[in-house]
Chain A
Amino acid sequence: DSGVTQTPKHLITATGQRVTLRCSPRSGDLSVYWYQQSLDQGLQFLIQYYNGEERAKGNILERFSAQQFPDLHSELNLSSLELGDSALYFCASSLGLAGEQFFGPGTRLTVL
């Protein structure tokens, strides 16, 4: 158990809908990262937050947004969902701006 929690574990929804994925980092970690894992793209970095502020952006679509709250948990919002958004979404956390990242169990999103 990495100490990073993610909810829900599975999510099934329809095209055009909006969903919110939630992540709680390990106790004491200030950075939260979001990654997407799909068969065709592999593991792709989406976005990083550090102590409530956006720190780095990767291949994140404009339809996706994230935030980190004062209690350091983070949410990833995916809107206008398309079939191609079906993937495993991982959250990871680290103590500081960089360094060892510990991953949560992931949220499997299926868009029908």
Chain B
Amino acid sequence: GEDVEQSLFLSVREGDSSVINCTYTDSSSTYLYWYKQEPGAGLQLLTYIFSNMDMKQDQRLTVLLNKKDKHLSLRIADTQTGDSAIYFCAESHRGSSNTGKLIFGQGTTLQVKP
């Protein structure tokens, strides 16, 4: 089946690293995504990782993928107050119908304290 799970809340101090975790059930997932949603706004694509990769780094963001455990994480280095938002993990797999529909987790609210 298709299911994506995330913890609901994370609080960190400004300057610390944040690690947001996600687990998924569909082993045929081809792409895994991280989106950011600020209050009253749409979803901003932060980064993604292809399922044959273990790690991807993009400036302050590091994505780690453990395929065996179906575990994905997003690390934000030097977290700033502007990083406060809801972070969504999403998976997609083309399947037999070759579609890109995304299955989202519930979202993790990141609170950054000054």
Tell me whether A56 and B101 are in contact in the complex, defined as CB-CB below 8 angstroms, given that A97-B94, A98-B92 are known contacts: yes
If the complex has contacts A90-B42, A105-B41, are A45 and B102 also in contact, measured as CB distance less than 8 A? yes
Q: How far is the CA of A40 from the CA of B45 in the complex (A)?
A: 23
Chain A interface size, as a band, is 20 to 34
Interface centre among B33, B90, B92, B105 (most CB of A within 10 A): B92
A-B pair number, CB within 8 angstroms: 66
* Cβ-defined contact, A105 with B104, below 8 A: no
- Choose from B98, B101, B107 the contact partner of A33 (Cβ within 8 Å): B101
Residues of A at the B interface (CB closer than 8 Å) are 2, 31, 33, 35, 42-45, 48, 55-56, 58, 90, 92, 94, 96-106
Q: Mark B31-46, 1 if CB is under 8 A from A, else 0.
A: 1010100000111110
